[in-house]
Every structure is written in C-alpha cells, then in structure tokens.
Amino acid sequence: MFDPTIYENLKVVFEGAVYDLDLDGQIVVIHRSDCIDLAAMSRSYAVRYRMKDGRCSAEIRLSAGLVDLAGEKLEWRNALPGCKLEILFSLMLHNPVTACKNIQDILEQIWDPNAAIVQTLSYRFGDDGSRCSNEIGVHFDRKIGEGQVDDIPDLLEHTVRTLRQLEPYNLEE
C-alpha cells in the first residue's frame, strides 16, 4: 500500500481547510498551483485567496525538497523531514512610508514573534513611487510536519484576520 509523505498529508489538510472556508463564504479561492519539479525533485503547493469583497490576497505556499523526501522514505537516522511553509499577502498601497510601518505593527501583533515578516515594495519605472505593490512574506524559521496539523485552522484564522486588517490599506483600483 502507498504510504503518503508528510508533504502530501499536509497538502491535503491545507487544501481541505482552505476550501472549507471558501464553501462557508468567508474567503474566495482565486488561484491554486500544485507542481512537481522533476529537475530538482521538489514539490510545491500554493493556494491564493481573498476576502469575499476584498482586494488584498493571501497565499499559502507549502514545499518539500529531495532531502526531505529521501530522509523520510529511506528513514535516514538523523533526518528531520518536513515542509517549508510561507505565507504571502499582496496589496496595492498609497504612501508606502507610513502604510508599511503600520502594516508591520499589525502583522507583528497577529503572527508569532519568531516569524520573520518581510515587506517587498515594487512600482513601475517612471512612476513617482507613491503607488506601489506590497508583497508581505511571513516566513517561519523551521519546517513543519504532521505534528502541526492541529495548528492549521489557527493559521488560516490568522491569515483571514490579517486580510481584514490589511484591506483598509489597499489602494482602490
């Protein structure tokens, strides 16, 4: 019988939990990606969503590489297999100098103090920079495994709460 990997089990739980929120009408799934990179022997899953009437988006990215798969399947003695988890938020801003400081404060209140929060701003060449795209990454300093499955509903609740808090900063199109 086929024994699913940590990655596959976590992907199924994330996917089910996100689509449950979509079915409940709390969010709208707007993109999904499920990739296997045969050159690097890695796998990645991403699902992007927004609030029903929102413009900001959140994306959960789950990935595992060859070392994680080999360590798990071959039962290497010192292996610590698991998955990398990243959460990204995207929005458009006016006045990024003020907005980014406020956004940083909001995210630091919502997310674990051990999570690294990185805001990356971009705008078109020739624009004055007063209107820009902000991609906010919430990065964790460790891999996750099946022992964190019970944390997934709380993690999704944090993403929904973050989207609600970010929405007033999003620029009207």
Q: Measured between alpha carbons, how far is 33 from 114 in angstroms, rounded to an integer?
A: 27
User: Token pair 């993109």 is at which residue?
Assistant: 31
46, 63 in Cβ contact below 8 A?
A: no
Q: Taking residues 116-125, what's their average pLDDT?
A: 93
Residue 1: pLDDT above 50?
Answer: no
Residue 72 is predicted with a pLDDT of 78
pLDDT (mean) for 70-76:
79
Question: How are beta strands 84-94 and 131-139 bridged, if at all?
Answer: antiparallel
pLDDT of residue 172: 67
Residue 137 or 2, more confident: 137
Contact 89, 136 (CB under 8 A): yes
What pLDDT score was predicted for residue 2? 64
> Which tens digits make up the pLDDT trace of 9-36?
999 999 999 999 999 999 999 999 999 9
In the 3-class helix/strand/coil scheme, how is 125-145 assigned residue by residue?
CCCCCCEEEEEEEEECCCCEC
